[in-house]
């Protein structure tokens, strides 16, 4: 419960920042870029300082998609999803997700044409982001897709060795997928 409370607090801060920034006239792209910087930094810090350090460098713990049953660390993708879910519990102003053209969990594949184009763009143009607008459920959204990199050996080993992975040739530094951020425009 403590984990959920901390993530909810962080999500509410991001949501308040987004809503306030959009209302104050900051461009949607700038707001999305700011959100991405926070999300990406949190994701990288957890991956480097917790997962890589404790599972690979020191071999103290394991990380597992079944972390509760295995008494292990949650995977970085799971931590990202927990944060996204906490944000969605408290705002409709924006949402975010970690998606891939080669997801281990099929639910994390592109669900819209914009997501697919964005993921293809960041995969084919490392270092570049993708921006667009789309309508979902009668609502208009600004959408941004940012590259998600394999930042450490733990990322590569997990993805390359997972039984459900369709890609087994990842190297540190490769684009594994993308962080998709949507901001309501209306």
CA dist 178 and 132 (Å) reads: 14
Angle CA 13–19–21, to nearest 5: 95
pLDDT given at position 178:
97
Residues of the chain with pLDDT under 50: 1-9, 11-12, 16, 19-20
The pLDDT assigned to 8 comes to 43
pTM of the model: 0.86
**Beta-carbon neighbour count of residue 100 at 10 Å?**
21
Q: How far is CA 11 from CA 90, 95, 125, in A?
A: 8, 10, 29
């Amino acid at each position: 419960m403590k984990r959920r409370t901390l993530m909810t607090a962080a999500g509410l801060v991001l949501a308040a920042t987004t809503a306030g920034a959009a209302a104050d006239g900051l461009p949607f792209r700038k707001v999305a870029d700011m959100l991405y910087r926070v999300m990406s930094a949190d994701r990288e810090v957890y991956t480097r300082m917790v997962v890589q350090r404790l599972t690979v460098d020191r071999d103290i713990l394991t990380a597992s998609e079944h972390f509760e049953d295995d008494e292990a660390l949650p995977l970085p993708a799971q931590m990202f999803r927990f944060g996204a879910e906490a944000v969605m519990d408290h705002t409709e102003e924006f949402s975010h997700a970690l998606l891939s053209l080669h997801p281990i969990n099929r639910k994390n594949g592109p669900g819209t044409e914009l997501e697919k184009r964005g993921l293809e763009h960041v995969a084919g143009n490392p270092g570049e982001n993708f921006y667009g607008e789309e309508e979902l459920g009668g609502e208009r959204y600004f959408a941004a897709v940012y590259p998600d990199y394999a930042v450490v050996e733990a990322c590569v080993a997990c993805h390359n060795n997972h039984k459900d992975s369709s890609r087994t040739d990842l190297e540190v530094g490769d684009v594994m997928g993308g962080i998709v951020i949507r901001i309501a425009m209306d």
